[in-house]
Chains A and B, each alone.
Chain A
Amino acid sequence: EVQLVQSGAEVKKPGESLKISCKGSGYSFSRYWIGWVRQMPGKGLEWMGIIYPGDADTRYSPSFQGQVTISVDNSIITAYLQWNSLKASDTAMYYCARGHYSGNYFYFDYWGQGTLVTVSS
């Protein structure tokens, strides 16, 4: 069974750093893209970026380029989303999802349960 299990909820202060994780299982982790999607409270889905564990090819949405870092550790079949300096506006639910590459497009067939990040002073 394909599963993506994300790390638990986080409460942080503005300016702090954070790294959340997404552990894949039940499939060949290195052969599928892993994407990250933000959902701010009461809002819609926003694609942040995506990484291919096989060669660490990483692509970011222009809206998130330079704001976050996506990485992967194949030895522990885990992908990461990282912030160096959090802002209150980073408060959101963050989902990882397994991506299928179709042309220049990705769709996501399995999703993690989400990690709620709250940034407040």
Chain B
Amino acid sequence: QSALTQPASVSGSPGQSITISCTGTSGDVGGYNFVSWYQQHPGKAPKLMIYDVSNRPSGVSPRFSGSKSGNTASLTISGLQAEDEADYYCSSYTSSSTPVGFGGGTKLTVL
């Protein structure tokens, strides 16, 4: 069972905005600005979309943004497009013995 909790699924129509949450504790998400988000299309390797809570790697669309409030981090996708349909995973520092934890993943469906 993942230490980080994500909704199993979210959906939205093209052009809309959606937000995917990632809830942890004060010992992980809430305690550090170490949250990243990955996009994974079926049969493909994950792709880094956000790191350090809100930073976008070069080449990632500005439609993707990250934020954090308390123990919950969020990934927002604005102007939803069909190509955004994928699984999304959050990741955070979780402990000194397991510095990298992943959420269970959220399946985004573009209606």
Question: How far apart sit A102 and B92, CA to CA, in the bound complex (Å)?
Answer: 11
**Number of contact residues on A: which range applies?**
20 to 34
Which stretch in B18-26, B46-54, B76-84 binds the other chain?
A: B46-54
Could you tell me if A45 and B38 are in contact, using CB atoms closer than 8 angstroms?
A: yes
Give the dominant DSSP class at B's interface: loop
Closest to A108 in B: B48
- Given A44-B103, A59-B99, A102-B52, verify A113-B32 contact (CB < 8 Å): no
Task: Flag whether B74 is at the interface (Cβ < 8 A).
Answer: no
Q: Interface of A with B (CB < 8 Å)?
A: 35, 37, 44-47, 50, 59, 61-63, 95, 97, 100, 102-114
Interface CB pairs A-B, < 8 A, 11: A45-B89, A47-B91, A47-B102, A61-B100, A102-B52, A103-B93, A105-B32, A105-B34, A107-B36, A107-B52, A109-B57
